């Protein structure tokens, strides 16, 4: 009887643990999706102070909760553990680059004039948000279906944030700020940001700390909307995606960000060109191919002439816009000699902004170039490492985009354009509040690469394609 009891106990354990691990893995996926949505919607500058505890944010609390669930699932589920370790091994080059990058950032924090504050800021953003969302997504996502869900979540976030930004524009500009002079402290407080006005016109910022961060996020999500629109088979769904993209473009315009509008034009133009080239490669209508090939040089010339015609727009029409452009040039001219003086480990976190940046508040200074900020604070190797990470992701997506699977190819093109938009925005601002979304795109790239490898391994092989 004792032996039968032991056999029944052992059999019940072998059934219960797989069931428990499967449930935990499902919860991990759901919470990862919620975490990504919360990173987009929750204001990066908003923190809570319940019951006298230190300042906390729901996103960081959710990150800690996810860490516990991921850790338990990792040890209970042999399948999830094996897949996660396999993904780490296959992407060792990227992990080495990221570890080296954040090692330099850690040294920079220790060299700061305010070590405690610099370390806390590094923990709050990178340790609790940027790295975790990358590894959680790498652990939880399963195949292309989960990638579509992430894209839908980002599109939903873009739609909700656009509604929020348009409501903000109506309320703050038309109902509140019209009763106060723009130069008064009360109006600046109501605007919620020192970047709230340009040329006496209110700039929306949504849940972000600055209008440029809102513009960066929405312009990076816009290509995802194009992907969903093209692959949708339902007319009402297509109409909803199109309406959402119109709202996002309106919100980007209301940020008064020239870089944001340029990113929209860049994303639409580049994806249009990619779609044309993709169609040319797969179509057998040779007459249409020939006619379109004749039009591509004209299209490229038209795009170049349009960019040339709008050079004054990007340089700035008003005095304030021209001053903004001029200040970015001055930052580079002042910052590059300082990089040459401290090339390896930089000056320390915050010191670069103090030496080169412009004052944006009573106690804050800002550098409007993330690559320059990295080089000043953490050394030139950290900037090169960050560029290498971007290059590695773009090269991976370039290879995936050349495959014959239409959906995978389009998804790779969309992810590449979104990452490029982040990379271009980093040349004109150094805001890092949207970086967790960039690292979500990195994780999606690795999962898409795995999906392509799995499809290639299971594809039928004949005598001509062995």
What is the domain partition of the chain in residue ranges? 20-452
Taking residues 49-68, report their average pLDDT. Answer: 75
Q: Rounded CA gap, 204 and 132, in Å?
A: 29
- Summarize pLDDT for 374-395 with one digit per residue, the tens: 888 888 899 999 999 999 999 9
Q: Could you tell me the sign of the dihedral formed by the alpha carbons of 443, 136, 30, 434, in that order?
A: negative
- What is the model's pLDDT at position 202? 73
Return the minimum-mean-pLDDT range out of 128-137, 261-270, 340-349, 351-360.
351-360
Determine whether 91 is exposed, middle or buried from the number of CB atoms within 10 Å of its CB (0-12, 13-18, 19+). buried
Q: Would you say residue 313 has pLDDT above 80?
A: no
- Which is nearest to 389 in space by CA: 437, 340, 439? 439
Q: Could you give phi then psi for residue 110, rounded to 5 degrees?
A: -70, -25
Q: Can you say whether the dihedral through the CA atoms of 421, 426, 428, 429 is positive or negative?
A: positive
Contact (CB, 8 A) for 188 and 196: yes
Q: Is the pLDDT of residue 187 over 60?
A: no
Q: What percent of the chain has pLDDT over 70?
A: 70
| H/E element, 197 | strand 197-198
> Does the reported pTM lie above 0.85?
no
Residues 6+ apart with CB under 8 A from 171: none
- How does 28-47 read in b/e, with b if 16+ C-beta sit within 10 Å? bbebbbebbbbbbbbebeee
Backbone angles phi, psi at 349, to 5 degrees: -60, 130
Per-residue tokens: 396: 């991976």
- 152: Cβ–Cβ under 8 A, 6 or more apart, which residues? 228
Question: Alpha-carbon distance 98 to 126, whole Å?
Answer: 11
**pLDDT category, 447, cuts 50, 70, 90?**
very high
Q: According to the model, what pLDDT value does residue 114 have?
A: 77
Question: Model confidence at 465, in pLDDT bands (50, 70, 90)?
Answer: very low
Looking at the predicted structure, is the pLDDT value of residue 216 above 70? yes
Name residue, tokens 């990076």. Answer: 220
Task: Please give the distance of CA 127 from its chain centroid, rounded to a whole number.
Answer: 16
Spatial separation of the C-alpha atoms in residues 397 and 90, rounded to whole Å: 15
Whether residue 130 is predicted with pLDDT greater than 70 in this model: the reply is: yes
Proportion of the chain above pLDDT 90, given as a percent: 19
Q: Which of 91-95, 112-116, 232-236, 350-354 has the lowest mean pLDDT?
A: 350-354
Choose among 302, 263, 271, 261: nearest CA to 414. Answer: 271
pLDDT at 226: 87
d(CA 68, CA 431): 29
**pLDDT score at 89:** 92
Residue 324 has pLDDT above 70, yes or no: no
User: How many CB atoms sit inside 10 A of residue 19's CB?
Assistant: 10
389, 94 in Cβ contact below 8 A? yes
First to last CA, the chain: 58
Residue 149 has a pLDDT of 92
Q: Which of 122, 124, 110 is nearest to 54 (CA)?
A: 124
What pLDDT was estimated at residue 305?
Answer: 59
Q: Which helix (H) or strand (E) is 250 found in, with range?
A: helix 235-254
Write down the pLDDT at residue 347.
Answer: 78
Q: Higher pLDDT residue, 28 or 347?
A: 28
User: In which residue are the tokens 């305010």 written?
Assistant: 114
Tell me how far CA of residue 235 lies from CA of 222, 227, 232, in angstroms: 19, 15, 8
Which SS3 state, helix, strand or coil, does residue 217 take? helix
3-class state of residue 254 by DSSP: helix
Residue 291: burial class (beta carbons within 10 Å; 0-12, 13-18, 19+): exposed
Q: Distance (Å, rounded) from C-alpha 212 to C-alpha 220?
A: 12
Q: Across 44-48, 345-349, 416-420, which has the greatest mean pLDDT?
A: 416-420
The pLDDT tens digits of the residues spanning 396-442 come to: 998 888 877 788 888 998 999 999 999 888 888 877 888 899 999 99
If you count them, how many residues does the chain have? 466
CB 80 within 8 A of CB 141: no
Per-residue pLDDT at 2: 44
Closest-CA residue to 368 (of 308, 419, 279, 431): 431
Can you tell me the distance from the alpha carbon of 397 to that of 392, in angstroms, rounded to the nearest whole number?
9
């Amino acid at each position: 009887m004792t032996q039968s009891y032991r056999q029944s106990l052992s059999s019940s354990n072998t059934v219960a643990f797989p069931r428990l691990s499967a449930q935990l893995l499902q919860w991990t996926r759901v919470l990862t999706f919620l975490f990504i949505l919360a990173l987009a919607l929750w204001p990066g500058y908003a923190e809570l102070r319940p019951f006298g505890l230190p300042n906390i944010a729901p996103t960081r609390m959710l990150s800690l909760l996810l860490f516990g669930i991921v850790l338990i699932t990792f040890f209970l589920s042999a399948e999830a553990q094996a897949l996660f370790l396999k993904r780490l091994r296959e992407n060792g080059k990227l992990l080495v680059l990221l570890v080296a990058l954040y090692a330099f950032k850690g040294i920079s924090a220790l060299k700061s004039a305010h070590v405690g504050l610099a370390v806390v800021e590094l923990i709050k953003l990178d340790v609790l948000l940027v790295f975790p969302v990358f590894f959680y997504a790498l652990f939880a996502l399963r195949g292309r279906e989960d990638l579509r869900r992430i894209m839908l979540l980002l599109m939903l976030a873009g739609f909700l944030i656009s509604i929020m930004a348009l409501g903000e524009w109506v309320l703050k500009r038309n109902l509140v700020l019209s009763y106060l002079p723009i130069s008064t402290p009360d109006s600046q407080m109501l605007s919620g940001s020192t970047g709230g006005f340009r040329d006496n016109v209110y700039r929306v910022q949504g849940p972000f700390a600055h209008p440029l961060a809102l513009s960066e996020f929405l312009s990076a999500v816009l290509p995802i909307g194009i992907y969903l629109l093209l692959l949708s088979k339902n007319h009402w769904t297509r109409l909803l995606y199109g309406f959402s993209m119109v709202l996002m473009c309106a919100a980007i315009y209301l940020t008064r960000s020239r870089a944001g509008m340029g990113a929209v034009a860049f994303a639409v133009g580049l994806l249009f060109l990619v779609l044309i080239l993709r169609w040319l490669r797969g179509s057998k209508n040779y007459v249409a191919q020939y006619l379109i090939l004749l039009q591509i040089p004209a299209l490229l010339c038209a795009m170049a002439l349009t960019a040339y015609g709008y050079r004054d727009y990007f340089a700035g029409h008003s005095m304030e816009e021209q001053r903004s452009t001029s200040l970015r040039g001055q930052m580079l001219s002042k910052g590059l000699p300082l990089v040459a003086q401290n090339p390896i480990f930089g000056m320390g976190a915050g010191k670069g902004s103090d030496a080169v940046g412009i004052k944006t508040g009573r106690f804050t200074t800002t550098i409007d170039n993330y690559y320059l900020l990295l080089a000043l604070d953490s050394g030139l190797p950290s900037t090169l490492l960050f560029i290498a990470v971007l290059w590695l992701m773009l090269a991976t997506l370039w290879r995936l985009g050349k495959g014959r699977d239409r959906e995978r190819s389009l998804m790779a093109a969309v992810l590449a354009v979104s990452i490029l938009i982040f990379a271009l925005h980093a040349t004109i601002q150094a805001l890092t509040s949207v970086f967790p979304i960039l690292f979500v795109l990195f994780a999606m790239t690795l999962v898409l690469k795995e999906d392509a490898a799995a499809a290639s391994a299971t594809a039928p092989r004949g005598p001509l394609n062995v």
